[in-house]
Structure 1
Amino acid sequence: MHLFLSAGEPSGDQHAAHLLTELRRRDPSLKAVGYGGPDLAAAGQEQSFRLTDLAVMGIGAVLPHIKTFFSLRNRAAEYFRDQKPDAVVLVDFPGFHWHLAKAAKKAGVPVIYYLPPQMWAWAGWRVKKVRKYVDYLLCGLPFEPQWYADRGVSAEDGTPCDYVGHPFFDEAAAKQLDQTFLEERRGGRTVGVLPGSRNREVERNGPILAAAARRLSGLHPDVTFRVAAYQPAHADRCRELFAGIPNVEVCVERTSEIIELAECCLFVSGSVSLELFARRTPGAVVYCLPRWKYQFLSKLVADDDLNTITLPNLFAGEKLYPEFFPPGAEAREVTEIVRLVDNWLSAPASLAAVRGAIAAAADRTVRTGATAAAADAVLRAVGGSNAAATAEPVVETAAGTQAVVAPPPGPNALAARRAA
């Protein structure tokens, strides 16, 4: 089997790497090529470009790299035409991946979108691109298949869309924590600060997180604020932003350990919220935007009747993680965040109640087995191993029950639909 995989963000690279590992367990002869990051490369992808180095957001950040993006699209299009992989597997990163999907469509190569972009939160009109360029959706959130079906994306409409579960829960369960790091810091009080994995996220959200931490440190001098930086450059920037605040420790590649240690966290909206959920850690969600974009997106959310866009809240059906989407690090927004976290740190019973509600919801909804189910679905769809074609994908729940995922298309179904 021959697959072209592409992931452009650190979290997507991680999810895609675990998917590739599961695929290779089922089909050791599988050939995997494409774009990604260090995790995909370590999993055995023949990687022609490290796409995660271009994990940027917003037109202003994209423009300096536009020639590179076009070059990568053209290179992929040529590969699709000449090499005809059995399928293209895309993971999130929609801005660039729509172009890859379009190129694959033109070359007659089936497209599987694993963990599609959260169009139910922002700009739902992009669903027309799914109908036009995607052959099969593998969703990580339980409500997504119905959301897509309501908009003409379903097996009956020609584009199967199945829920396989979210791989972040697999990854959190399998993560081997650095016990030395944890033991050296146990006994003290920790508030985790998670500023995001993209440069722009750190720049946008860092100031408001630092402003909140500065005020909270005055109220709770016994608390250490541990900042989880994705890479050394982010750590350097965070040290600048948090300079002068007592009891701050900036750590690289210790996100899981900090979540595990923390009484609560201040964190940037994103898939990391699922790890907080899986580890039953309370937190406040922050996401700073330019004022014009904040007003524009607020209208989009209101139009879709969504009261939350934070993933654990959507899983649980209740607002377990309070959200702050301010247009900038202004005094009013910082005051609201500080008031909430100060209450948690000052009233152990209040924080324990929040943690208990999160734990109850996580026990009910957190499931492992998503990566295995996704691998089975991919192999079924493109006509992989006989075992994958006959196995019934299952997602294990935390409580030990089983939730059977809807069977994906049978062998060669995607290729047959393309040929038709």
Structure 2
Amino acid sequence: MTDKLLFANARGLKVAMVAGEASGDLLGAHLMDALLARDPGIRFAGIGGPRMTARGFTTFVPQEKLAVRGLAEVVRHLPELIGIRRALRAQLIDEKPDVFIGIDAPDFNLGLEADLKAAGIPTVHYVSPSVWAWRPERVDRIGHSVSHMLCLFPMEPPLYSRAGVPVTYVGHPLASELPLDPDKLAMREQLGLPLSAPTFALLPGSRRSELDFMGPLVIETARRLLEKFPDAQFLVPLATRPTLEEFERQLTAHRAWELPIRKLFGHAQMAMIASDVVLVTSGTATLEVALAKRPMVISYKLSALTYHWVKRKIRLPYVGLPNVLAGRKVVPELLQKDATPEKLADEIERIYHDKDYQRELAELFTGMHLALRQDTAALAADAVLKLVR
């Protein structure tokens, strides 16, 4: 942890931010760009990733320290996380930034925001926790922590407005990033892939802890799909060097080097667009697949302890964002015990052959895309500046 001032020599607005993982780093970088376009003198510090630091962000500790998933994993790292939050809170209260923006990471940020708000520092939370899906009673507690909430999804603002929490709908940045009409064949040409062979993207997750469960599952699913589609090709995008190395280790452990799997370092959206059907780990990636207008099967596996705890809290009959946004199950979800290679391969095969379903799904996803396509970073920046000026 730094023993220096986070905002040393800052003369303009001081904006503190905490982004807990890669998706937050991207949101934070876009928000920094929008804020700097309005006021080039703003200085930023807190906890952020490589995109934020490339824009001049001063980070308190490496962002990876906060990227912990699952109940068991959080418990193991809890003393370190508490220590980081305590030290950062003390430094921010001492330096008094003009505003604090917690980007996602609600378990870390909301408690910090409550303490900073009590100390007279305005607080913004960027990305609402999934209160529409589980633990809706959190809205009142969130209202005590934040001065303003920035929401990515249209069903969220009414929940906060009813609780008297100031809120702004900013849309989802991914909706501006992906084209409305992605070209599958052009993407296959760009990737140097056969144009007519059945192509499946397999997304085992962006964290190593997810690969522990999902990596072997997608490998065995690919093996069964190859029996159904002998000329199939598989695209497996890995987000980081550690996840790429872990997946390669799993391929060796499962003696699966003969499978026609093409590993990509990043480029998840390219893999989605080039594919006929996507097997995707539950999370934000499910929204990316929808915005790419591709049919999908959503899957997820957790440790038994974490799954038991999460299942008791969930209020919706589905977990994938396309189903949540549609208000009904439009894409299949095979979770935990239902997530077997046999079931996943059968479902992917069914979807591959059902062209009418694929067309209907693409039309539905286009409507979602249009609703989510806002000038997200600009709307967020305007809401932040209104709070401090």
Aligned sequence identity (%)? 28
Query: Larger deviation: 363-372 or 41-50?
Result: 363-372
2:171 to 165, 180, 185: 165
Question: Secondary structure at the residue paired with 1:341?
Answer: helix
What CA distance in whole angstroms lies between the structure 2 residues aligned with 1:186 and 1:378? 47
Matched, 1:334 2:341: yes
Query: Compared with structure 1, are the counterparts of its residues 179 and 214 closer, same or farther at alpha carbon in structure 2 (3 Å cutoff)?
Result: closer
Partner of 2:208: 199
Partner of 1:269: 282
Question: Secondary structure at the residue paired with 1:124?
Answer: coil
Query: Compared with structure 1, are the counterparts of its residues 354 and 224 closer, same or farther at alpha carbon in structure 2 (3 Å cutoff)?
Result: farther
User: Does the Cα contact within 8 Å between 2:72 and 2:306 map onto a contact in 1?
Assistant: no
What CA distance in whole angstroms lies between the structure 1 residues aligned with 2:81 and 2:305? 27
Count of equivalent residues: 369
The Cα of 1:173 is off from its aligned counterpart by 4.9
Query: Compared with structure 1, are the counterparts of its residues 360 and 62 closer, same or farther at alpha carbon in structure 2 (3 Å cutoff)?
Result: closer
The Cα of 1:234 is off from its aligned counterpart by 0.8
Matched, 1:185 2:193: yes
What CA distance in whole angstroms lies between the structure 2 residues aligned with 1:229 and 1:354? 30
Paired residue type of 2:277: C
The Cα of 1:46 is off from its aligned counterpart by 1.6
Paired residue type of 1:214: R
Partner of 1:361: 367
Query: Larger deviation: 62-71 or 135-144?
Result: 62-71
The Cα of 1:18 is off from its aligned counterpart by 0.6
1:319 to 316, 319, 329: 329
User: Does the Cα contact within 8 Å between 1:182 and 1:261 map onto a contact in 2?
Assistant: no
Question: Secondary structure at the residue paired with 1:116?
Answer: coil
User: Does the Cα contact within 8 Å between 2:99 and 2:388 map onto a contact in 1?
Assistant: yes
1:92 to 101, 104, 107: 104
Query: Compared with structure 1, are the counterparts of its residues 71 and 359 closer, same or farther at alpha carbon in structure 2 (3 Å cutoff)?
Result: closer
Partner of 2:25: 13
Query: Compared with structure 1, are the counterparts of its residues 27 and 185 closer, same or farther at alpha carbon in structure 2 (3 Å cutoff)?
Result: same
Query: Compared with structure 1, are the counterparts of its residues 132 and 363 closer, same or farther at alpha carbon in structure 2 (3 Å cutoff)?
Result: closer
Partner of 1:281: 294
Partner of 2:124: 112
User: Does the Cα contact within 8 Å between 1:278 and 1:366 map onto a contact in 2?
Assistant: no
Partner of 2:387: 381
Question: Secondary structure at the residue paired with 1:368?
Answer: coil
What CA distance in whole angstroms lies between the structure 1 residues aligned with 2:369 and 2:133? 25
The alignment's TM-score, normalised by the length of structure 2, stands at 0.86
The Cα of 1:139 is off from its aligned counterpart by 0.5
Paired residue type of 1:326: Q
The alignment's TM-score, normalised by the length of structure 1, stands at 0.80
Question: Secondary structure at the residue paired with 1:267?
Answer: strand
What CA distance in whole angstroms lies between the structure 2 residues aligned with 1:297 and 1:82? 37
Matched, 1:232 2:232: no
Query: Compared with structure 1, are the counterparts of its residues 291 and 69 closer, same or farther at alpha carbon in structure 2 (3 Å cutoff)?
Result: closer
Paired residue type of 1:223: A
Runs of 5+ unmatched residues, structure 2: 1-12
Query: Compared with structure 1, are the counterparts of its residues 307 and 63 closer, same or farther at alpha carbon in structure 2 (3 Å cutoff)?
Result: closer
Partner of 1:397: none
Query: Compared with structure 1, are the counterparts of its residues 314 and 293 closer, same or farther at alpha carbon in structure 2 (3 Å cutoff)?
Result: same
Partner of 1:294: 307
The Cα of 1:327 is off from its aligned counterpart by 4.0
